[in-house]
Amino acid sequence: MAIYEAMQEDASIHLLGEGAEIKQHYDAPYILADFPERIITMPISEDGNTNFAVGLALMGIKPVVDVIAGDFLYRTLDSIANTAAKLDFVSGREHTIVIRAEFLLGGPTTGQRPEAIFAHIPGLRVLLPSTPREAYALMRDALVTPGVTLFFEDRMIRDDDDWDEADLKLEGCVPADKCSWRMKGQRGNVTILTYGVMRQVVERALRPFKSDGDPYSESNQMLCDVIDLWSLYPINWGFLDKMLERTCRLLIVEPDVIYGGIGAELVARLAEMRPGIRIKRLGAPRTTVPASPALHAQILPNEEQIVSAIRKLSQQ
């Protein structure tokens, strides 16, 4: 919906990728019906396709490149990191490129999460919405913001958020470094930072600890501030520091490999900003993703681990 509305407003937006026309036929037939001339089906060459997008951007076009699975982005590292990310810097002009990719439960070569790699590269923005509403708002923002945006989509997220088209229209686009404050805690409890599919896991973990009358009652010992990062770069550090001031206890729950990940950067920066905070991290081990979706799910943080980490932090 966000892309369709942007294409109505801006004739320079084009969609491209492997099987792009077929994908629009199934996912967004209204785009195919109204803008068939702006959908470019590309060969099976991810690096070539993202380089092609750079060429389009130099011509004044705003390409939206669908790389399909996040794992395929490893094939695009040269064209994104060495070319696209440096484009505005070396040309002295502004260009807009959006690169979409999905995270899957797909095994060793179609179940990886490279978001931390791209957050490390200067010149790139990395967005990862966790609800349809946020996806709409962030995509609208990405299509009007100069630069290169990596727009990740967690296929494991359930589309059961309480939203409708009217909500989307009212929200419009949001700044890239925006994040949401999901639950209100009290001084002395825990601040939880999470993103993507883990937001729903965290909320399910906390659900049993909400009282019947008031989910945030003072008698509830599991009150937490849950902050959902929609943007992995840039990050609103001032907001996070202000929220952490309430609790001085930090739990990071991430769906990626914990070593060298987004959580590691969060810990390092926030510990520098607020020395003495108590910290716990949950994430995936540094291991190859299992082929079985059930086994893949087992290496991700679960509700029991989250509850245990909250209890330990609360007692410190």
Structure confidence at residue 182 (pLDDT): 64
**Is the predicted pLDDT of residue 113 greater than 50, yes or no?**
yes
Return the minimum-mean-pLDDT range out of 1-10, 198-207, 256-265: 198-207
Per-residue confidence at 177, pLDDT binned at 50, 70, 90? low
225 phi and psi angles, rounded to 5 deg: -90, 115
Res 170 pLDDT > 80: no
Distances (CA, A) of 93 to 74, 86, 90, 188: 27, 11, 8, 49
Is the CATH number 3.40.50.970 carried by domain 2-171? Answer: yes
The Cα 138–Cα 74 span in angstroms is: 24
Question: What mean pLDDT do residues 143-165 have?
Answer: 80
Average pLDDT, integer, range 260-268: 96
Q: Out of 166-175, 182-191, 225-234, 276-285, pick the least confident.
A: 166-175
Q: pLDDT class for 206, splitting at 50, 70, 90?
A: confident
Q: 33 near 9, Cβ under 8 Å?
A: no
User: Would you say 152 and 193 are in contact if contact means Cβ atoms under 8 Å apart?
Assistant: no
Answer whether residue 213 shows pLDDT above 50.
no
The percentage of the chain sitting over the pLDDT mark of 70, rounded to a whole number, equals: 85
Burial class of 5 by CB neighbour count within 10 A (0 to 12, 13 to 18, 19+): middle
Q: How many CB atoms lie within 10 A of CB 257?
A: 18
pLDDT at 157: 80
Distance of CA 87 to the CA centre of its chain: 23
Q: What is the pLDDT of residues 249-258, one digit of tens each?
A: 999 999 999 9
pLDDT-derived band at 144 (thresholds 50, 70, 90) equals: very high
Q: Which positions ≥6 away from 29 have C-beta within 8 Å?
A: none
The DSSP string of the chain is -HHHHHHHH-TTEEEEEETHHHHHHHH-HHHHHH-GGGEEEE-S-HHHHHHHHHHHHHTT-EEEEEEEEGGGGGGGHIIIIIIGGGHHHHHSS--EEEEEEEE----TTTS---HHHHHTSTTEEEE--SSHHHHHHHHHHHTTSSEEEEEEEETTS-S-SS--HHHHHHH----TT-EEE-----TTSEEEEE-TTHHHHHHHHHGGGS-SS-TT-TT-TT-EEEEEESEEES--HHHHHHHHTTTSEEEEEEEEESTTSHHHHHHHHHHHHSTT-EEEEEEE-SSPPPSSHHHHHHTS--HHHHHHHHHHHHH-
Span 43-81, pLDDT tens digits: 999 999 999 999 999 999 999 999 999 999 999 999 999
Same fold, 2-171 and 179-315: yes
pLDDT value, residue 176: 56
Between 219 and 294, the higher pLDDT residue: 294
Give the residue extent of every domain in the chain.
2-171, 179-315
pLDDT at 161: 53
Beta-carbon contacts of residue 167 (< 8 Å; ≥ 6 apart): 133
Angle at 64 between CA 148 and CA 83, to 5 degrees: 40
Q: Across all residues in the chain, what is the average pLDDT?
A: 87
Q: Give the global pTM.
A: 0.90
Nearest-angstrom CA–CA distance, 174 and 194: 19
Report the share of the chain in percent with pLDDT over 90: 68
Hey, what CATH class is 179-315 in?
alpha beta
Pairwise CA distance, residues 234 & 176, whole Å:
7
Mean pLDDT across the stretch 193-200?
A: 92
Check pLDDT > 70 for residue 197: yes
Q: Which residues pair with 147 in a beta bridge?
A: 96
On the question of pLDDT at 112 being above 70, the answer is yes
Lowest model confidence (mean pLDDT) among 2-6, 38-42, 218-222: 218-222
